[in-house]
Amino acid sequence: MDIATIIGLISGTALLLWAIMGKSELGAFIDPGSAAIVLGGSVSAALVSFPMQNLLGVAKVIGNCFFSKSRDPGCLIAEMVKYAEVARRDGILALENVTGDIHDPFIVSGIQMAVDGTDPDLIEAVMTNDLETVEARHSEGKALFDTIGKFAPAFGMIGTLVGLVIMLGKMNDPSAIGPGMAMALITTLYGAVLANLFALPMAAKLGLRSREEILLKMIVIKGVMAIQSGDNPRIVEQKLKTFLPNRLRASATVEARAA
């Protein structure tokens, strides 16, 4: 579970409620009509922008923000170096005996192709296509929340205009001016909160998750190609460590030695 996402949403919501309740009553900021305009309008715009299947999969996409846990790249490098040592010591065919213990199907696929003697260019092409497919799928989920974040403030402004029309249409009734103005302002608030506390931050987190997974898959691809070409395990380690920032390379070396 991603604690940072949960803390961010809870703290942001709590601070907003604290600011409201410190100066006014919470009920003054609750307007179902305004919520319907902003939330309903944003979801409707997303329906126009994306296929239905994208909207039906939104629960899984949201789950990636809260429950997706990326693997440590240093541990992955150590694992690939271990496979390189097996291939170097016992021959690449010996890797067929360890594939049953590998939980990542992407690694299994690459090693199996290498064991089967598949052409190196074909191995790299197949694995790269897999990576690009994952990247495209991730970009669709991120784009969904980017779209909601883009349209929410716009529907907030639409609600503001609706509220102003109501207010101006009843200028002869002073009692109607307050509710109309309240709806106008509250709808803008709802749009800003939906976009900047929920939709856009979730899109940013999904982008981060995507970059993390793509990095791991790139490490696997380069590792498999190095193993297939018969590189020395130390060379494999050095190649894969180039994907890490300098501050993480030393720890990756320790993990590779331990493996």
User: What are the pLDDT digits (tens) for 35-88?
Assistant: 999 999 999 999 999 888 887 878 788 887 777 777 788 889 989 999 999 998
In a domain, 78, yes or no: no
How does pLDDT run across 73-113, given as a tens digit for each residue?
A: 888 998 999 999 999 888 888 898 888 888 889 999 999 99
Confidence label for 252 from pLDDT (cuts 50, 70 and 90): low
- For the cut 90, the answer to whether the pLDDT of residue 243 exceeds it is no
CB distance 208 to 64 below 8 Å: no
User: Can you tell me the mean pLDDT for 110-127?
Assistant: 93
Other beta carbons within 10 Å of 21: 11
Q: Are residues 17 and 130 in the same domain?
A: no
Domain count for the chain, please give it.
Answer: 2
Q: Are residues 47 and 19 in the same domain?
A: no
pTM, rounded to two decimals: 0.82
In a domain, 144, yes or no: yes
In a domain, 143, yes or no: yes
| pLDDT in the model for residue 128 | 94
Q: Are residues 25 and 127 in the same domain?
A: no
Q: Are residues 3 and 54 in the same domain?
A: no
| pLDDT in the model for residue 125 | 95
Confidence label for 25 from pLDDT (cuts 50, 70 and 90): confident
Range of the domain at 15: 1-30
175/54: higher pLDDT: 54
